[in-house]
Amino acid sequence: MTERDDPKAALRHYLQATRDDLVWKLEGLDEREARLPRTATGNNLLGLLKHCLNVEAGYFGPTFGREFPSPGELVLMAAYDEDPQADWYARADETKDGLIDLYRRVAEFADQTIAELPLDAPGRVPWWRPGHQDVTLHQIIIHVTCDLARHAGHADILREQHDATVGWRRDSPQVIDDQEWPAYVAKLTALADGFA
């Protein structure tokens, strides 16, 4: 059966592509560059990855009665009482390579959940509001892929701000090679200034 004929394989393909894009945006960065806040709210590339790995561990774990084999490596729910942003940055004792490795292990864990359950398998998201907690695996794969894709878009912008590395995907950047970017930016600025 090809991916075209297998909805679960197609969903997993897009989930994996988004994971790969998130990790790619950290390539070539040292610890400081990966952690450096790049927005007024502190968004940083390594924090995005840490948030996403915790998202996957939660949605593909407790939602379906499963527990990640080493839960102490994740941000525990109690940590949010002390720091609501606990999963949005790497602590001093965490490293870029360590979090990338953890993300890959979380992805394997999530993929096991996906492989072992049918798409209509029931789950329950305990942190969602009452009346909306009951879900299926199908819904969760889509929900998590959309959440990760949103954060991969954030990572695109953060990385571009750092060193002008742009592109949709490593193997298919979909960026015009010979574009005169300063002239293009000046053109857009002039258009915007026309409305000042």
Helices 7-24 and 45-59 pack at an angle, to 10 degrees, of 150
Region 3-193: CATH code: 1.20.120.450
Work out the average pLDDT over 155-168. 76
User: pLDDT-based confidence at 166, cuts 50/70/90?
Assistant: low
Q: Does residue 167 register a pLDDT over 70?
A: no
Q: Are 25 and 156 in contact (CB under 8 A)?
A: yes
**For residue 162, pLDDT beyond 80:** no
Average pLDDT over residues 77-106: 96
| 35-44, 97-106, 140-149, 152-161: least confident range | 152-161
Q: What mean pLDDT is reported for the chain?
A: 91
8, 119 contact by CB (below 8 A): yes
Mean pLDDT on 45-58: 97
Is the dihedral angle over the CA atoms 146, 86, 41, 45 positive or is it negative? negative
DSSP string covering 155-177 = HHHHHHHHH----SBTTB----T
At 107-144, the pLDDT tens digits run 999 999 999 999 999 999 999 999 999 999 999 999 99
Give the SS3 label for residue 91.
Answer: coil
Locate the domains of the chain by residue range. 3-193
Q: Are 66 and 117 in contact (CB under 8 A)?
A: no
Which is higher by pLDDT, 168 or 152?
152
For residue 168, what pLDDT is reported?
55
Q: How far is CA 18 from the centre of its chain?
A: 7
Distance in Å from the first CA to the final CA of the chain: 57
Q: Among residues 52, 141, 170, which one has the least CA distance to residue 104?
A: 52
